[in-house]
Amino acid sequence: MAAPSELGDFLKSRRAALRPEDVGITPHPARRRVTGLRREELATLANVSITHYTRLEQGRASNASDSTLEAIARTLRLTDDETAHLKDLARPVTSSRRPAPPRVAHASASARQLLGAMTHVPAVLMDRRGDVLAWNQLGHALLAAHLAPDSPDDPATRPNLTRMLFLDERYRALYRNRAEQAELAVASLRLVAGRHHDDRALAELVGGLTMNSDEFATLWARHPVRTCTSGVKLLRHPVVGEVELSFENLVIPGTSGQRLIAYTAEPGSPSETALKLLGSASAPAPAAVRGAHPGGPST
């Protein structure tokens, strides 16, 4: 995920998506061989020299000013998320030090305590790559009951919700609008990749998904960019059926991007009833009386 090529590919994808007519240019079909805006057209509209823009798109301009990048973003009609992504790619943070091995993230004791206290709310703690660091009982039952409850505890095999969305058939089947969720997951991962282009574990995740999922590779090549802090999940759960849940994506301060996702149902709704049923169905059986024996009292 080298920043220069990512920057060029991102800008080209957005130029291709903008028709000349959209910006007041009357195209001449007989002379036009490119889809969308040409480099020189974009540079002229953004009031940027064609040489400077070309160097930027080729990843050879590391000193682009905010005003230049914002002019290009306005011309390309980028969203706020896309504009932030453009700046991340145009001015990546570099270091003269040798890249350090990926740091293994863990859930803190206080985060686990918080998850445990949320007895009626499904909740999951993830790192910035989407690796599950911990979940509470209801979160596990809602999203991945086919996995071992303690699977997040082993960094080598812990589940990753983005990978599961593309490669885990049971998790894929959970979403009624899976195609929409897939695009949102890729868009969120693109935003993270722009900010952490030297994250080797993230590069391995993207590389593995690109090799093993044509759907992911196609979506990744489109360069969608979007942050997702809240919304609605439409699920078809194998135990309780269809549920509609609101979610909040809460970043944990001081953790390099760890976030807690909590899911809630509208009070009095069928989805709330379904969550309560799921909680009862997934509750652990009462512990056996210490020392009891089937044949009679303990001795």
In this structure, are 249 and 180 located in the same domain?
yes
Provide the number of structural domains found in the chain.
2
In a domain, 147, yes or no: yes
Q: How confident is the model at residue 255 (pLDDT cuts 50, 70, 90)?
A: confident
Question: Is residue 292 scored above 80 in pLDDT?
Answer: no
> What is the CATH classification number for the domain harbouring 155?
3.30.450.180
For residues 253 and 180, state if they share a domain: yes
Written as six digits, the tokens of 243 are 């549920």
> What is the pTM (predicted TM-score) of this model?
0.85
Residue 297, domain member (yes or no): no
What the block records as the tokens of 285 is 């059986």
Report yes or no on 219 lying in a domain: yes
Residue 228 has pLDDT above 90, yes or no: no
pLDDT at 1: 42
Please provide the distance, in angstroms rounded to a whole number, between the alpha carbons at the two ends of the chain.
66
> Does 174 lie in the same domain as 127?
yes
Please tell me the distance from the alpha carbon of residue 115 to that of residue 60, in angstroms, as a whole number: 46
Q: Domain limits at 264? A: 109-282
pLDDT in tens, 185-202: 999 999 999 988 888 999
Q: Is 145 exposed, middle or buried (0-12, 13-18, 19+ CB in 10 A)?
A: middle
Placement of tokens 């057209």 in the chain: 41
Name the more confident of 3 and 264: 264
Instruction: Assess whether 154 and 78 both reside in one domain.
Output: no
